Amino acid sequence: MAFKHRSIAYLLSILIFVSLHVANGIPPETICGSTVNPTYCKNILANQNGNIYDYGRISIRKSLSQSRKFMNSIDSHLQGGSSLSQSTIRALEDCRFLAELSFEYLSNTYTTTNQSSNVLPTSQAEDFETFLSAVLTNQQTCLEGLNTIASDQRVKNDLLSSLSDDMKLHSVTLALFKKGWVPKNKIRTSWPQNGKHLNFKNGRLPLKMSNKARAIYDSARRNGRKLLQTNTNEDSVVVSDVVVVSQDGSGNFTAINDAVAAAPNNTVASDGYFFIFITKGVYQEYVSIPKNKKYLMMVGEGINQTVITGDHNVVDGFTTFNSATFAVVGQGFVAVNITFRNTAGPSKHQAVALRSGADMSTFYSCSFEGYQDTLYTHSLRQFYRECDIYGTVDFIFGNGAVVLQNCNIYPRLPLSGQFNSITAQGRTDPNQNTGTSIQNATIKAADDLAPKVGTVQTYLGRPWKEYSRTVFMQSFMDSFINPAGWHEWNGDFALNTLYYAEYSNRGAGSSTVNRVTWPGYHVIGATDAANFTVSNFLSGDDWIPQTGVPYSSGLI
What average pLDDT values come out for the chain (556 residues) when binned by 10 residues? 45 40 69 92 90 94 97 92 85 96 97 86 94 98 89 88 94 96 74 52 51 60 45 65 92 96 96 93 98 97 96 95 98 97 97 98 98 98 98 98 98 97 98 98 98 96 98 98 98 98 98 98 98 97 94 95
Helical spans, DSSP H, in 187-282:
211-222, 256-262
d(CA 147, CA 486): 27
- Alpha-carbon distances of 417 from 187, 373, 413, 414, 422, rounded to whole Å: 43, 17, 11, 8, 16
Handedness of CA 208, 213, 214, 220 (dihedral sign): negative
| pLDDT score of 38 | 95
- DSSP conformational letter for 523: E
| pLDDT score of 15 | 40
d(CA 117, CA 359): 26
Domain spans of the chain, in order of start: 28-181, 392-548
In DSSP notation, 266-326 reads S--GGG-EEEEEE-SEEE---EEE-TT--SEEEE-S-TTTEEEEE---TTTT--SGGG-SE
The answer to whether residues 320 and 352 touch, using CB atoms and an 8 Å cutoff, is: yes
Query: Global pTM?
Result: 0.91
| pLDDT score of 209 | 55
H or E stretch including 106?
helix 86-115
**Active-site residue list:** 394
| pLDDT score of 231 | 45
* Residues listed for the chain: 556
Cβ atoms within 10 Å, residue 310: 22
| pLDDT score of 150 | 72
Superfamily of domain 28-181, CATH level 4: Invertase/pectin methylesterase inhibitor family protein (1.20.140.40)
- The residues with which 26 forms a beta bridge, in sequence order, are 50
| pLDDT score of 216 | 60
Q: Which one of 3.30.830.10, 1.10.510.10, 2.160.20.10, 1.20.1600.10 gives the CATH number of domain 392-548?
A: 2.160.20.10
